[in-house]
Structure 1
């Protein structure tokens, strides 16, 4: 194979129509054409799909200053403004410095008891012996966790307040990102009115959270406290709009991705009986009938490996992009100013060059000695470089807590008449939900 393939198309939209019809299938087909890079056109945009870990590292790390978030990603700005996900330097660096201390492994250990309490609270009302949409349940539990740990609020109704709205927002945002011609959001179209109304409702919920904290006399040193009490170099408080953007970012991104990870985790167990037996055996042996606590977690290595393997096959952030801000050379490839780079963890994680039998679910890939053999940026479910997901350690800790709690208490069986498909919105969701029969295993 050569080190780069250029695909030409006479269609005015280039390859965009094929991508919109089935993004994952399109990317999989392109990945077979070259080992390093495939170049194609989306309408008037030149796009480079990177397929080599070294090239991906150049874009995300060594030459990151030559790239910024892609313009398509800016569609999220209507929802999360200039929050940590969408902002560029120097604002991004400034805001990340404020938040970083609350996402270090040491600080995350302080959240474990709150994670356990929030997750336990959401499962107490479960009716077992019934068919449940596990993807909705996981959204509810992760939202309860993020609300408690980051904002010190107990709100088990939070999912009902945001779930429907978030669903509409993600669908519409994905549609607009993939569109060549999209009407301004100010146009009086019904779907745009609903889009804006859902965003406004989410912002209203966030404003309520902030106001609730402001009237409390008791202080808690969590992320919201840090944002409310931060000062810039001139001693000024963070502007209200920026505060809302940052809270919205953590509020939305902080539960959406972990919920999807957990949904796919339970799905993967149902399709891999041997792995399921090992996970259940480990949790039963380590936790048994005791109340889960932080001391149990280091003794659940196989369950954690199963979560990491889930992130390999079903990375919540399945694709992201960068736009070059100057002419740049990565490897042997020239990328002109304004051209787009696509990076897909979903594609890289399934590359047989870096993962033997890549479609099989094998948690042992992430056993310590085998994990070390995976090349950097062949596996990168949380991105990389200076913009690596700030919540990566938090998400894995939270997922391990929730997985252990639910495995300890319940048995899950995938509904026989429910076909599960990947739904590549902004995050990788199960299309139409994840329906499972749930039976209580332990009477707690």
Structure 2
């Protein structure tokens, strides 16, 4: 009797268990509503919640727990070395393939890619395949960052426009100047360096309201055009100056012929020489030439040998100042890098000197010579000074002495014994 009762109770328990529902797993169908399980926050737990947390459910909708899925409401406790969005087999990662914007650092992106905050680009994966087509490449390789427009389908360069509609561009500084482009170079740097411009102009300025090109300061060269098949620099129109340049050595160095349409105000023609005499040559001294020697200097193929002019000697010009020999490390392959540069001051015997042979110059007047006025023709007196040409009246005609002429006075001498002369030795 006892044995039969035990069997009956066991069968009853199993029968009840068979008809009662199984205990639901966490976030499973039939479980009590839990906001943590409602991934899409629509008030219930359905197939969409299961799909959105695929890392926590299997294909039958059974809770598996754990997983590597990313929640749309954000994740916590992640490790960037193991938790990431991407592929592990090198295949492309596609986002928004049919439209829509992507935001980084913002919840309201206004463009296909909207980044709020500083962007940082490292590495270089160029050249890209032909399928990349046209675009802009930004990267870093070696010790240089780069940005350029390119078409990899046709392997051709494309234009890169900076500040298309306005604004200013600054290179080497955070403070723009008055111009559209401000270039601030450091010590021993070029302001603008144009290496080669095939079949076009090296630097082109179509129109400028003020100066076409202004170089305020450069540690080395303000503008360099090494090669241009047509024209190195073009300024079509400028409200004030087409080019405004100053240099410690030269304001401009031209390798080849120069064509100027119009006047050249204040221009002087000069040549370098060596003080071959025994006396110091001062600015304003008239000099005579003794010889010409060849040189390998980039500033000219010859050097004059000059001395302080004396009466009846043939004169070649007037001392503008001393000259300094400088050596340039950055020079053309055909050059030696040695160049004479005009400087202020006197030239001692054996030193280099700059001689003006055409143009307006102040010249030293001989002591006691006061009969000089504008238009007076001048010749050499003692020790490199000048005096008026002497004239005599013979049979009613004014005869002028046949001494060498240094030029024509432009005014009367000043209180320092100097007179402005349009130098033109004859």
TM above 0.5, yes or no, is no
Which of the two has higher C-alpha Rg? 2
Judging by fraction of residues, say which structure has more helix.
1
Q: TM-score, normalised by structure 2?
A: 0.23
Q: Greater share of strand residues, 1 or 2? A: 2
Higher relative contact order (CA 8 A, sep 6+): 1
